[in-house]
């Protein structure tokens, strides 16, 4: 067995493999350069074709530049416009400002208006029985409570029972615990 494999690893075969690898690498480099050049040329040609098609679209029928284009003819002479209507024919426009009529002055009342409440009779002292406000005192110091609006005392709630109401479960009364402590 040793004699059969001996020819594959000889120094001559190693040198031959090395030379072959170098030649193939050089050839591959040349081919890759050519492929790169061809790819660049193809890109350039595609760009030129696109430019030519754009130019054809602009200069062809219905394009931006039409070969048989002529400037438009001037429109025929227009007759003189009609004179504006006379001012008397136009209805008067409403003014932008509204007119405010002045109110007539009110006459002073000879008797003050009396409002009687439904509760107390006229014999009980009303709001007129309050002392007149003191002058030269700030407004907050002159305030007096309204005797007609006296607050009523709050009644304490009556206690019903001290025990909480029995709990009701979602599906009725709860199940009593099992006898014997309920352990596992």
Q: What is the pLDDT of residues 139-150, one digit of tens each?
A: 887 788 887 887
Residue 24 has pLDDT above 70, yes or no: yes
Highest mean pLDDT among 80-84, 141-145, 154-158: 141-145
Residue extents of the structural domains in the chain = 2-59
Residues 65, 59 contacting (CB under 8 angstroms): yes
The pLDDT mean for the chain works out to: 75
* pLDDT tens-digit series, residues 44-71: 999 999 999 988 888 777 767 766 667 7
- The pTM for the full model equals 0.29
Q: Please indicate whether residue 172 or residue 145 has the higher confidence score (pLDDT).
A: 145
């Amino acid at each position: 067995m040793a004699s059969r494999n001996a020819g594959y690893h000889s120094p001559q075969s190693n040198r031959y493999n090395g030379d072959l690898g170098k030649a193939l690498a050089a050839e591959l480099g040349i081919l890759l350069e050519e492929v790169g050049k061809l790819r660049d040329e193809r890109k350039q040609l595609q760009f030129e074709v696109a430019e030519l098609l754009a130019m054809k679209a602009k200069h062809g029928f219905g394009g931006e530049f039409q070969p048989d284009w002529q400037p438009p003819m001037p429109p025929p002479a227009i007759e003189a416009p009609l004179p504006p209507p006379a001012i008397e024919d136009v209805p008067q426009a409403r003014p932008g400002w509204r007119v405010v009529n002045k109110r007539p002055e009110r006459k002073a009342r000879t008797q003050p208006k009396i409002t009687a409440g439904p509760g107390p009779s006229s014999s009980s002292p009303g709001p007129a029985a309050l002392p007149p406000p003191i002058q030269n005192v700030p407004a907050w110091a002159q305030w007096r409570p309204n005797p007609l609006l006296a607050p009523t005392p709050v009644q304490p709630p009556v206690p019903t029972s001290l025990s909480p109401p029995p709990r009701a479960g979602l599906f009725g009364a709860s199940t009593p615990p099992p006898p014997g402590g309920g352990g596992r």
